Chain A
């Protein structure tokens, strides 16, 4: 081995780490650049608010936007309360037994299951067994089951970040455990829980596989009337127009991708802003 002097090796290390960072960023920048360059020409108010026409080759993507929003909205409505409650139980009440350790391990592992497996699970349970059919509700349930482990994990992290001393101080005053959780722990964990929730929304808005068999329609140019309706969804719509439709104008494909990207990015942005806001308000 050549022995470098410390100053030189320091420089090499910094240069190497910097390059690794650049390599990580470049693909993201290129993707965003290509999508904007090819897609911006098709973006217009009509594109965002009109029904698709001419076999989806022209018109807008309004039903796909509404479809995705309604699936995601329902999913988060289901997954957030259940996830937060489970996190409270696991973090605040559950004793450290073999069973709770197994449950925690299972939750961590659930987050690693491929999303298409959740899709098949949703098809079997919600669409067929429970008879919801291919619908918003079936898709939302599938997505919420997929997102539960993530919500539970982030919510537990947020609860954990509340100093144990606060709980002890409250309990020592004779305040009950639940009141301590309700009035001390939860208000202080809320920012973290919310940030996790918003990031989850961002993540599930882009998911295709879980809604493929459970909610998404190939072509359905109207707005859903009930949670048991089938809907178009942006990620699936993007997949169809880029692979299944001949003579599809390129700029519409890229514009659809751009809309999806913007939806996800703006969610993440809201999460970041919320986090900054709450961090400023935090009093410890």
Chain B
């Protein structure tokens, strides 16, 4: 793996996942390169969300879940890491925006506070974190005058960007997006996509999406999953123009899925 010109941020080595002994992911091996957007496409039940949730061990709470194989983050096996530490480094955004039932400000500062990132507990320090996170999530201009209003009252697109800001506030290394635009209108989707592209300068992004066009718009590389298997992975442009596998071609041209 050292032959790679790019730096691997995460390395997935022969990973298989099971729910109650039913295999949902079979022998997947791939690498995630630093500062890229890796998009994962595939029909439902292809195991793409299970894959994503394994990368920051969100599946570990499910007692039916088991896995084989390993995942490395900067050459460190994530299954030997402290779960909370891992999630600080590998953040996750869910399909539906889930603002916590508190104000916009509190939503952003929630995790830094709990994780002890704020050293002195000064108001100015917290304000700076909140502003920076909201700016990076391109939400600051829309909410700067109502930081103290409930996050539940925002629109869906704003809520999703707030959730991004919440993750940015703890400054992770990798961000996992699980169909982040499935509940959003086209304009909100465009904003979230812009945000993602802006973020890849500093973060490594994995995006699972049901929307093939979205994958072609934002992905540097794209992986195609089907029935729990990785069918093909490659540069997005290449994969969409001349896929190696017939199944990939069928899927991206809309013949099934």
Residues of A at the B interface (CB closer than 8 Å) are: 95-96, 165-166, 168-176, 179, 183-184, 188, 282-284
CA distance A165 to B159 in the complex (A): 14
Tally the A-B contacts, defined by beta carbons under 8 Å: 68
Please tell me which one of the listed residues A172, A184, A282, A284 contacts residue B87 in the complex, with CB atoms under 8 A apart.
A172
Given contacts A168-B58, A174-B86, A175-B115, 20 further A-B contacts (CB under 8 A): A96-B63, A165-B96, A166-B98, A166-B100, A166-B101, A168-B98, A169-B100, A169-B166, A170-B100, A170-B110, A170-B111, A171-B61, A172-B56, A172-B91, A173-B110, A173-B115, A174-B89, A175-B84, A176-B84, A176-B114
Per-residue 0/1 for B83-106: is the Cβ within 8 Å of any A Cβ (1 yes, 0 no)? 011111101101010101110000
CA distance A184 to B102 in the complex (A): 9
Taking a contact as CB atoms under 8 Å apart, the answer to whether B85 and A165 are in contact is: no
Q: Does B152 contact A (CB under 8 A)?
A: yes
Q: How large is the interface on B (under 10, 10 to 19, 20 to 34, 35 or more residues)?
A: 20 to 34
Q: Does B139 contact A (CB under 8 A)?
A: no
Taking a contact as CB atoms under 8 Å apart, the answer to whether B87 and A173 are in contact is: yes
Taking a contact as CB atoms under 8 Å apart, the answer to whether A183 and B114 are in contact is: yes
Residues from chain A with a CB closer than 8 A to the CB of B150 are: 283
Q: Does B78 contact A (CB under 8 A)?
A: no
Taking a contact as CB atoms under 8 Å apart, the answer to whether A172 and B88 are in contact is: no
Residues of B at the A interface (CB closer than 8 Å) are: 56, 58, 61, 63, 84-89, 91-92, 94, 96, 98, 100-102, 110-111, 114-115, 150-152, 163, 166-167, 170
Please tell me which one of the listed residues A95, A165, A174, A283 contacts residue B152 in the complex, with CB atoms under 8 A apart.
A283
CA distance A169 to B94 in the complex (A): 8
Tell me the minimal C-beta distance from A96 to chain B in angstroms: 7
17 residue pairs bridging A and B, Cβ less than 8 Å apart: A95-B63, A96-B63, A165-B98, A168-B98, A169-B163, A170-B100, A170-B111, A171-B61, A173-B91, A173-B114, A173-B115, A173-B167, A174-B86, A174-B88, A176-B84, A188-B101, A283-B150
Taking a contact as CB atoms under 8 Å apart, the answer to whether A175 and B111 are in contact is: yes
CA distance A283 to B150 in the complex (A): 7
Taking a contact as CB atoms under 8 Å apart, the answer to whether B56 and A183 are in contact is: no
Please tell me which one of the listed residues B91, B94, B115, B152 contacts residue A168 in the complex, with CB atoms under 8 A apart.
B94
Q: Which one of A96, A171, A188 has the highest number of Cβ atoms from chain B below 10 Å of its Cβ?
A: A171
Tell me the minimal C-beta distance from B180 to chain A in angstroms: 13
Taking a contact as CB atoms under 8 Å apart, the answer to whether A283 and B101 are in contact is: yes
